[in-house]
Amino acid sequence: MPQKSKSPLPLSITGPTGGGKSAVALLLAEATGGEIICADAYQLYRGIPILTAQPTAAELARAPHHLYGSIPLSQEMDAGTFEKLALSTIAEVQSRGKLPIVCGGSGLYLKSLTHGLSPLPPADPTLRKKLESLSTQELADRLLELDPGSAEQLNLQNPRHVARALEICLLTGQPASELKQSWAMPRSGLRGVYLDLPRDYIYDRVNARTLDMVAAGVLAEVSAIDDDTLSNTASKAIGLWEFRAAADEATSLQEAVAAVQQTTRNYAKRQTTWFKRETAFVNIPVTPTDTAPQITEKITRIFGF
């Protein structure tokens, strides 16, 4: 029988994509009677459960899950909006005396909960228009000059993200990377774990999971999306356009799979860099032979569940 959690303080479980966070969170929820809260920017979206590796129906039935698949693809999302949704959900779970288990690897979303968000300037229409007139390469070159830290963390082929980082730099006179990644003032009651997996192991898991998506029907899933109502945020989900191109026979399935695998591996590398700054979380080294039950047992020992 699951036991009531000794403390309702939230526990975050994070790590690079494909690292087994969801399986550990589910076992921990079953062991403690806790409830899982999504902290993945794209698992929040409805209509792309295969593409974003959301919990299956069977997994959802094993423990309460919150926010997964709760946002329509037409809605824009950001860390500030997520913070409000997640804090409200955490409070609701705590009101029942249950353990909120925050699970996901979206760094800025998690930081909104653990530290709050640094005050960033709103968009400046005049400056934004000037930046949007630049080519992708010109934007990348300017960011490398003004803020090498952001250039290292962002996908420089994404003009929207690069332009926003540049906008912050130019409006504040400070590197956007420094403003976004201040970890100096964690919120009280902060606790969590970072699942630290070897890079080659993560890459193998990412490659295998991409193939699993294809077998599960991801091509049909992305083909059913209405492009006219797709929000800019949702359109950035890894694999969406590569798999769409394969479904439309504009590229081969083999090429699409290879591209998604590479992009996901790059994302996992950026996540690893990001979470090295989160010193308040307990680092749990994970080897290829560690099972989800073994990892869960480590967490229960550390926090006394």
What's the rounded Cα separation, in Å, for the pair 296 and 6? 16
Domain with CATH 3.40.50.300 in the chain: 11-116+186-303
Domain with CATH 1.10.20.140 in the chain: 125-180
Comparing 25-29, 64-68, 111-115, 226-230, the range with the smallest average pLDDT is 111-115
pLDDT in tens, 50-101: 999 999 999 999 999 999 999 999 999 988 899 999 999 999 999 999 999 9
Sheet holding 192-196, edge to edge: 65-66, 35-38, 100-103, 11-14, 192-196, 282-285
CATH superfamily of domain region 11-116+186-303: P-loop containing nucleotide triphosphate hydrolases (3.40.50.300)
pLDDT in tens, 40-54: 999 999 999 999 999
Whether domain 125-180 has CATH 1.10.20.140: the reply is yes
Give the model's pLDDT for residue 120.
74
- Choice between 153 and 205, residue whose per-residue pLDDT is larger: 205
Handedness of CA 159, 161, 163, 165 (dihedral sign): negative
pLDDT in tens, 129-183: 898 899 999 998 998 998 888 877 777 888 888 888 899 889 888 888 777 666 5
CB–CB of 305/31 below 8 Å?
yes
What's the rounded Cα separation, in Å, for the pair 45 and 61? 19
3-state DSSP call for residue 12? Answer: strand
Handedness of CA 167, 170, 172, 174 (dihedral sign): positive
Rounded average pLDDT over 281-286: 93
Give the model's pLDDT for residue 115.
81
Buried b (16+ CB within 10 A) or exposed e, 187-215: eeebbbbbbbbeeebbbebbbeebeebbe
Give the model's pLDDT for residue 2.
44
Q: Among residues of the chain, what percentage have pLDDT more than 90?
A: 65
The winner for highest mean pLDDT among 28-42, 105-119, 123-137, 267-281 is: 28-42
Identity of residue 200: D
What's the rounded Cα separation, in Å, for the pair 58 and 56? 5
pTM, rounded to two decimals: 0.80
3-state DSSP call for residue 244? Answer: helix
**Number of neighbouring beta carbons within 10 Å of residue 124:** 13
Give the model's pLDDT for residue 1.
40
Give the model's pLDDT for residue 246.
96
